[in-house]
Amino acid sequence: MVEILSVLADGIAQTVQITLASFVVAAVLGLPLAVMRMADSWLIRLPAVLAVEILRAVPPIVWLFLVYFSLGSSDHVQLSTFQAAVIGLGLIYAAHLSEAYRAGLDAVPTGQWEAARALALPRYQSYRRVILPQTLMVVVPPMATFAIALLKDSAIASVIGATDITFQAVQLTQQDLNGLGNFAVAGLLYIALGLPFAALARGADRVLSRRLAGA
Amino acid sequence: MSVWSEWQDYLPAYLDGLSVTLKLTGVSLLVGLPLGVALSLALTAPAKAIRWPAVLVVEVGRGAPALVVLYFVYYGLPQLGLTWTSFVCATIALGFTTAAYTADIFRAGVNSIPVGHREAAQALGLSHWKELRLIVLPQAIRVVIPPLVGFCILLYQGTSLAYAVSVPELLSRAYSQASITYQFTTTLVLAGLVYAFVSLAAVALLRARWPRRSAARTDVAVPAGEPVPTAR
C-alpha cells in the first residue's frame, strides 16, 4: 500500500495541476459564454449556443485526441500533453460551467434587472455592479460539483501520455502486474483529492439555505 | 484527396465501430440499471448493515474516475483468475459506474414523493413491497426519466474510454485509421461528428419530449437543480 502510494504520488502534482489549470480556463471562458447566451440578438446567442452544444456532444477523450494529435502536432503548433489536456478539458468545462453561470444569472430576480434599468445603468454596469455579485454565491455549489467531475475527467489525460496518477498506475501495473492494488489505491487517491471540493459545495449550500430561510 | 472522399472511405469502419459503441452502451445499461435500482433501495433501507455497503459502493462508483475503474477491472481481475475479453471488462466497469450514478437518480426520484403518500399507504396497511410497487415507483418513474436519459447520453460518450483497453469501438476505429493514414485531423473530426450526431439527436429528443421546466422567476433565489426545501 505504502509502496504503491509512493509511486502514484509522482502523479498527484500533475493531476492537480491539470485539474486546476483547466478549471481556471473553464471559469474564465464560461462566463462570457453564459452572458452571450442571454443576449438579445441571436447573432451573439448563436455562436455561444453552438459552441456549448458541440463541446458537450463529443466525448472528452476525442477532444483531447483532436487537440493533441491534430491541433498540437502540426508544423506551427507543438503542444505538450499537459497543454493539450488543459486546452481540451478547459474548453469542455467552459461549456459545462456556462450552464452553471446561466442558472446563477437566472436566479437573480427580474426586479434587480428592472431596478438597474430604472437607474439607467448601462448593460455592462448592470452586470458588474448588480447581477454578478448576486450570482457568485449561487454558483459555488454547482461549480464545486463540476470541479470534482473535472478532477475525474483529468484521468483521461493519461491516455495521451500526461504523467498523472492514472498514468503512473498503468506504468506500475505493467511492471508488477498488481492491477487490483494499484488501481484501488489510484481510485482512493482521486476520491481523497475530491473531498475538499465536496466540503466546499456542502458549506456553500448550507450558507445558501440559511439565507433562503432568513429571506 | 478531398476530405469528403476520405470520409467516404472511413465511414464503413466507423459505422462498425459505432455499432460496438451502441452495443456497449446498451449492455452496460442492462447490467447497471437493475443494480442501480437495487442500490437505491438499499440506500433508503432502515437497516444500517444494508445501507452502509450501498453508500460505499455509490461513493466509490461516483468518486473514482471511470477510466480507473475500467483499468481496475481490466488489469486487476486476471489476478483473480478471471480473464475476460476487453468488451466484457468494459461492460463490467461501465455497468458498475452506471449503477452508482443511477442509484442516486433513483433515490432522488423516490425522495420526490410527498411523505403523505407513503404515510397514506402505511395507514391503509399496505406491505412495504406493495407501497413501493403501487405508490412509490409509478410516481418516481416520471421524475426519474429525464435525468436518466441525460445519463444515457453521458454513458454513450463514456464508452469511448473503452478505447484505452482496445475495445474496437468508434474511437478505436478512428485511431487505427489515423495511424495508417496519418490524417489525424480528418479521421478524428469525423469520429467527433459521429459522436456528436448521436448525442445531439438524443438531446433533441429529450428536450422535445420533456421541455426544460421554465423556472418561474420568483423573488427567492432557488439554486438550479436544487429541490425546493419542504418540511419533513
- The beta-carbon neighbor of B76 closest among A57, A73, A180 is A180
B166 belongs to a structural domain: yes
- Quick one: pLDDT at residue B100? 96
> Which chain A residue's Cα is nearest to B191?
A62
- Quick one: pLDDT at residue A116? 92
> Which chain A residue's Cα is nearest to B71?
A183
Q: How far apart are CA B144 and CA B149, in angstroms?
A: 9
Q: How far apart are CA A12 and CA B107, in angstroms?
A: 33
- What is the domain-level CATH number for residue A173? 1.10.3720.10
- For A162-200, the pLDDT digits (tens) are 999 999 999 999 999 999 999 999 999 999 999 998 888
Report CB contact under 8 Å: A107, B185.
no
Q: Which residues of B touch A107 (CB under 8 A)?
A: 221-224
In chain B, % of residues over pLDDT 90? 62
Average pLDDT value over all residues in chain B: 87
In this structure, of B29-33, B119-123, B159-163, the range with the lowest mean pLDDT score is B119-123
Domain that holds residue A11: 2-214
* Tally of structural domains, chain B: 1
Report CB contact under 8 Å: B68, A186.
yes
Those residues whose C-beta lies under 8 Å from the C-beta of residue B155, and which sit 6 or more positions away, are: B25, B28, B29, B94, B97, B98
Cell of A101: 453561470
Domain that holds residue B168: 3-209
Cell of A120: 439607467
Q: Which residues of B touch A91 (CB under 8 A)?
A: none
More confident residue, A70 or A215: A70
B228 belongs to a structural domain: no
Judge whether A151 and A120 are in contact, CB under 8 Å: no
Those residues whose C-beta lies under 8 Å from the C-beta of residue A47, and which sit 6 or more positions away, are: A36
pLDDT at residue B220 is higher than 50: no
Give the pLDDT band of residue B83 (cuts 50, 70, 90).
confident
B10 belongs to a structural domain: yes
| Closest to A88 (Cα-Cα) out of A163, A149, A30, A25 | A25
- Quick one: pLDDT at residue B212? 60
In chain A, % of residues over pLDDT 70? 99
| Closest to B26 (Cα-Cα) out of B122, B155, B123, B197 | B155
How close does chain A come to B227, measured CA to CA in Å? Answer: 11
- For A27-69, the pLDDT digits (tens) are 999 999 999 998 889 999 999 999 999 999 999 999 999 999 9
- The beta-carbon neighbor of A152 closest among B65, B76, B223 is B65
- For A113-131, the pLDDT digits (tens) are 899 999 999 988 988 888 8
Q: Which residues of B touch A57 (CB under 8 A)?
A: 195-196, 199-200, 203
> Which chain A residue's Cα is nearest to B59?
A191
Those residues whose C-beta lies under 8 Å from the C-beta of residue A64, and which sit 6 or more positions away, are: A84, A85, A88, A89, A156, A157, A159, A160
- What is the domain-level CATH number for residue B170? 1.10.3720.10
H-type alpha helices, A38-59: 42-57
Q: H/E element holding B219?
A: none
Give the pLDDT band of residue A74 (cuts 50, 70, 90).
confident
Cell of B95: 455497468
- The beta-carbon neighbor of B76 closest among A155, A179, A205 is A179
- Quick one: pLDDT at residue B46? 84
B197 belongs to a structural domain: yes
Report CB contact under 8 Å: B224, A107.
yes
B88 belongs to a structural domain: yes
B196 belongs to a structural domain: yes
Give the pLDDT band of residue B132 (cuts 50, 70, 90).
confident
The label of the residue with cell 492514472 reads A166
| Closest to A78 (Cα-Cα) out of A90, A87, A69 | A69
- Quick one: pLDDT at residue A64? 97
Cα–Cα distances (Å) from B94 to B5, B23, B97, in that order, read 35, 12, 5
For B76, other C-beta atoms within 10 Å of its C-beta total 21
Q: H/E element holding B22?
A: helix B3-43
- For B162-217, the pLDDT digits (tens) are 999 999 999 999 999 999 988 899 999 999 999 999 999 998 888 888 776 533 33
Q: Which residues of B touch A53 (CB under 8 A)?
A: 200, 203
Q: Which residues of B touch A98 (CB under 8 A)?
A: none
Beta bridge partners of A73: A78
- The beta-carbon neighbor of B68 closest among A70, A141, A190 is A190
- Quick one: pLDDT at residue A29? 97
* Tally of structural domains, chain A: 1
